[in-house]
Amino acid sequence: MKSQMLTFRPALYLSLFLTGACATTHNLTVHSNPEGATLTTVGTNGDLGLAPVLLIFDDSDLESSRGDDGCYRVRGIEARWRSGAVARMDPISLCHADARHHEVTLERPDEAPDLKVDLQFAHDLRAADMDAHRRAQGNRTQYSPQQTPTKPNGPPASSGPAARSR
């Protein structure tokens, strides 16, 4: 029984590896500038969260949306900042089908009022993220091995004053 398990295990690992290697997905990271806009899908108003977000699409789902130019078209996204400023990208084109990771940035309109509100919110988000990272790092044990100084090549140097000759 044990020998059957030993031969079965490598076959299982190989099949898992090959399945993972053949996984055909496209990743889309959606950013906002400034950071922290609330992202929703156009048409369904599905809440995606605060930018940046990562969306994952299967190739089989994308294939039906491929245009004559070879680009995939996916449902658009709307960004809404704390100030009420809104930007929309609809549809989103994912070109370079051989690339598996795509990024887009929704830019806050220049003419929208209260830019300071959005910049402050982005600053607060970044500060909270850095604070959480610091706390997580503080819970880790830091290890620094003692370093042994190396001995210099050549004869040892005298540690006292030089001898005088008479």
pLDDT tens digits along 51-93? 999 999 998 888 888 888 888 999 999 999 999 999 999 999 9
pTM of the model as a whole: 0.67
Cβ pair 51, 30 in contact under 8 A: yes
Token pair, residue 38, equals 């609330």
Taking the mean position of all CA atoms in its chain, how far away is CA 13? 27
Q: Token pair 């990771």 is at which residue?
A: 101
pLDDT level of residue 30 (50, 70, 90 thresholds): very high
Query: Radius of gyration (Cα) for the chain, nearest Å?
Result: 29
**pLDDT given for residue 10 in this prediction:** 47
Question: Over 60: is that where the pLDDT of 4 sits?
Answer: no
What residues are paired with 93 via a beta bridge? 73
